[in-house]
Structure 1
Amino acid sequence: SFVEFSLPHVHGLPPGVESTSEVPIDKVPYLKRAYDKLRDPLTDFLKNSNVNWIIHDFAPYWLPGIAAPLGVNLVFFSIFNASTFAFLGPPSALLCDRRKRPEDFTVVPEWIDYPCNNIAFKLHEMVNHQQCMDDDVSDFQRMGRLIQGCQFVTMRTCFEFERDAIKLLIKLYQKPLVPVGLLPPLLSLPSNEDNKWEAIKSWLDSEGEKSVLYIALGSEVNLSEESMHQLAFGIEKSNLPFIWVVRNRPVGEGQMNDIIPPGFEKRVSNRGLVLRDWAPQLRILAHSSVGGFLTHCGWSSIIEALKYGRALILFSGASSDQGLNARLLHGKKVGLEIERNEVDGSFTSDLVAATIRRVMVEPEGEVFRANAWAMREIFGNEDLSNNYLNEFTRFIEEFSTSACHY
């Protein structure tokens, strides 16, 4: 049974807000401070419970201090992949704040012991991400304390895709890392409420196999009007059929600002669909008419795309792990990153169009299309995913303190 903990209110956090998708990036630190106020109620709960294990994310840096005296085991679980954590490094590097300036994160760290195709942040990505950092306790300090204090680590990855990064992390952490697998989502059966999908499916059915580009930038990426216009003009110049999921920007109480260029939808109406706010992404990616995905490089979206072998046009959302994911997938040649100014993240519509066409239709893009299609054997393999889940379960069931010396 579930036990509810209400998120405490802190000054600066709008009432009722409980997730990063509900606030601008510069308000995210207030969410972390609110989360930290759960320490006392959680401690009281644990003292009177028979909880043996807590599976937690990067935020509750205070958890080892209350779990250890009570004999509660901890599992650090990240929805990020192993390459991201390999870049971040061992707890000692996370805790010492040796990398203080945004520029420090734009180079491959010295502990990477395998060819990684220059997986590092661009300057504009790190400058943007620092807006969501809490000045009191950085994300890196939170991760460092929790990796040190947990019994073992698990991540949404697998050896078949990231063997080198996983092996390095086991060495850096000096404790077990048990991948939980890629956890590819299952495609549910249509329901009676799927009228929106029926219209989309009808449109997709009329298009050729692997001809359609799908564009979605997640629920938390907010581009400037200029960037949205350049992206739109690039999509238009590509001359390919497309589906674009657009989130309107809030500009005031109850008001939304449509930042699609005026006249864009009319000009592309014969070959494109613009969907507002939400779309059945997994269903769209599963359709045989979709050939490519222009993505903000969130790990969940990448997993969904590669489950169906869709080639990637990589456009980092400039937050969290997205830039590192873009470099990782670019290096593995399952997609191509749109070239951008490293300082301010700006780009041109011509580069957008050229990258789309190269990945989707041009002969030199065949390597991306073939490699992405082959990834179905890993990302779409339900038996493989279930095996990792079973191994994770077994590890918890058979765990003893001696496992710490794994």
Structure 2
Amino acid sequence: MAESTQEPPLHVVVFPWLAFGHIVPFLELAGQLARRGHLVTFVSAPRNVARLPRELSPRIRLVSLPLPAVDGLPDGAESTADVPPEKVELLKLAFDGLAGPVASFLAEAFAGAGGEGHAKRPDWIILDFAHNWLPPIAEQHKVPCALFLIFPAPFVAFMGPKAANDAHPRTAPEQFTVPPPWIPSASSTPAFHLHEAKRIAGGFHPNASGTSDMSRFWETERRCPLLVCRSSREVDGPAACALLRELYGKPVVPSGLLAPYDAVLAAAHAGGGGGGEEEEDAGGGVGPVMRWLDAQPARSVLYVAFGSEAPLSPALVREVALGLEIAGVRFLWALRKHAAAAGGGLLPAGFERRVAAAGRGVVRAGWLPQVRVLAHAAVGAFMTHAGWSSLVESFLLGHPLVMLPLAGDQGLTARVMAARRAGLEVPRAADDGSVARDDVAAAVRRVMVEEEGEAFARAARELQRVLWDRETQEGYVDDLVHNLLLQRRRE
């Protein structure tokens, strides 16, 4: 990987959707571009920008654009981590209100173009699925847009382009429980379970923002000459991006998995360590949690975290809690604030007291530094919603998985990982997705306690080996940069 290019550096505007599962891979991509000598302007809402790491490359400029107020959206809500799942559609409505500020930002950027550094004319805008209003603004300034798909390639293929969906319309949830006709019959692409399919079908219908998620995606994709997929041939298979190119009829460039190497190396350098007073104050109690991990035997703790956006019903939380208790393993559960605060006694009566008294479990209401936790020597497996960013972090540390997919692409991803024997999916009722405590306990024990767990651990270590082949992973970004430069040369 070259630190600088042989021609003037690119200036790329990078603008993710307002979810940290999106912001994190967009920021990793920004860092990779900056390491190659290119300039990045990273755009988000102010609170999201304030939450980003302090130590970023000087080639990355952060731009904050405040969201407009929307009735029903909590004050200060700027990401999916700030709202319960039912309010996310209002966040999309607020996000659409950024069209005017973004237009002004780009007009100012192009009015001052010709200078050095970040005053240079933007060459590309790399955007997300929700930005259907941005390509027309970019076209006014003759700057191309690239749609960065942070979802796994099998999910992007399963959802399909508008033309394929128009030719083979899917109007009932049951139609999402089988692969669509545009997926090759020889493919091993899985399908959604019925309870998941109901949510997926809902993404084709307008929400409070006035449009559907799929309409946003299709309109954004239609106006982007380049698609970038967070994909790796070593994980997704050699045909994944080729299928996407065939389906979408335009170049599709894999970015590699954009694993957070620097964060993992920093965690390894820090060692265990519970942190001092500064970390405890800043993290609201993170220090004691890390010190509890320090006291546990190596690879004995199940880390439990279900992301910042996926829905967690009280019934699901209670069954997971009781399943963990029945399993009898040590665990650390990062239960996000909205779930922890919902309805008071969400966890079973006496649960926290019992597991704490036994020295086996800690429930942390709120944020935890996930990469640092996963990198801790005491952690031996990861119970997750199977969000792609969380799985990439887990791959990097070689942890087997206990998967409880909750929304979006997660069901497909969990099935792909289970087929690779990297972990187990917790069974759920087909119609309503309910979870039984005994099934949770059985899955946890199969991965962490029983002899079968070693097979899951071996598969997880193989994924770890793939991710730490940095030369291959960096090569994907080099190819992406080559494609971005080619477009500029043609202008």
TM-score with structure 2 length normalisation? 0.74
- Structure 2 gaps of 5+ residues are 1-60, 111-120
Instruction: Say yes or no: does 1:170 pair with 2:230.
Output: no
Query: Residue in 2 aligned with 1:365?
Result: 453
Determine if contact 1:64/1:146 at 8 Å carries over to the other structure.
yes
Query: Residue in 2 aligned with 1:33?
Result: 93
CA distance in 2, matches of 1:307, 1:114: 32
Of 134, 142, 145, the match for 2:206:
134
Q: 1:4 to 1:278 in 2, by over 3 A?
A: closer
Of 346, 350, 353, the match for 1:263:
350
- Structure 1 gaps of 5+ residues are none
CA distance in 1, matches of 2:287, 2:246: 50
Q: 1:144 to 1:197 in 2, by over 3 A?
A: same
Matches within 5 A, 1:254-403: 257-269=344-356, 270-317=359-406, 319-399=407-487
CA distance in 2, matches of 1:306, 1:128: 27
Displacement, 1:42? 2.9
Q: 1:134 to 1:34 in 2, by over 3 A?
A: farther
Determine if contact 1:360/1:369 at 8 Å carries over to the other structure.
no
Of 117, 121, 125, the match for 2:192:
121
CA distance in 2, matches of 1:397, 1:292: 41
Q: After superposition, give the CA deviation of every residue in 1:224-283 in whole Å (9 maximum; x if it has no partner).
A: 22221111111011111111122344799xx97241211112222222222221222212
Where relative contact order (Cα < 8 A, 6+ residues apart) is larger, the structure is 1
CA distance in 2, matches of 1:278, 1:41: 30
Q: After superposition, give the CA deviation of every residue in 1:361-386 in whole Å (9 maximum; x if it has no partner).
A: 22233322210111111234444333
Of 203, 210, 233, the match for 1:159:
233
Matched residue type, 1:179: P
Determine if contact 1:247/1:277 at 8 Å carries over to the other structure.
yes
CA distance in 2, matches of 1:250, 1:349: 18
Of 80, 88, 92, the match for 1:20:
80
Q: After superposition, give the CA deviation of every residue in 1:270-314 in whole Å (9 maximum; x if it has no partner).
A: 222222212222122112332211101111111111111100001
CA distance in 2, matches of 1:174, 1:88: 15
Q: 1:45 to 1:286 in 2, by over 3 A?
A: closer
Determine if contact 2:164/2:182 at 8 Å carries over to the other structure.
no
CA distance in 2, matches of 1:283, 1:338: 25
Determine if contact 2:199/2:408 at 8 Å carries over to the other structure.
no
Displacement, 1:115? 5.0
Matches within 5 A, 1:203-218: 203-218=292-307
Q: 1:251 to 1:353 in 2, by over 3 A?
A: closer
Q: CA RMSD in A?
A: 2.7
Matched residue type, 1:307: L
Matched residue type, 2:174: E
Q: After superposition, give the CA deviation of every residue in 1:31-81 in whole Å (9 maximum; x if it has no partner).
A: 222222333443344345133311110112133333334311110012212
Q: After alignment, is 77-86 or 215-224 more displaced?
A: 215-224
Matched residue type, 1:335: G
Q: After alignment, is 258-267 or 109-118 more displaced?
A: 109-118
Displacement, 1:24? 2.7
- Matched residues, number: 400
Determine if contact 1:295/1:312 at 8 Å carries over to the other structure.
yes
Q: After alignment, is 278-287 or 11-20 more displaced?
A: 11-20
Q: After alignment, is 101-110 or 241-250 more displaced?
A: 241-250
CA distance in 2, matches of 1:294, 1:179: 27
Q: 1:278 to 1:104 in 2, by over 3 A?
A: same
Determine if contact 1:95/1:141 at 8 Å carries over to the other structure.
no
Determine if contact 1:248/1:256 at 8 Å carries over to the other structure.
no
Determine if contact 1:91/1:143 at 8 Å carries over to the other structure.
no
CA distance in 1, matches of 2:127, 2:411: 24
Query: Residue in 2 aligned with 1:80?
Result: 151
Determine if contact 1:32/1:134 at 8 Å carries over to the other structure.
no
Determine if contact 2:340/2:365 at 8 Å carries over to the other structure.
no
CA distance in 2, matches of 1:40, 1:364: 56
Determine if contact 1:114/1:164 at 8 Å carries over to the other structure.
no
Displacement, 1:29? 2.1
Of 161, 166, 169, the match for 1:90:
161
Percent of residue pairs identical: 38
Matched residue type, 2:134: L
Query: Residue in 1 aligned with 2:279?
Result: 194
Query: Residue in 1 aligned with 2:44?
Result: none
Determine if contact 1:308/1:380 at 8 Å carries over to the other structure.
no
Displacement, 1:102? 2.5
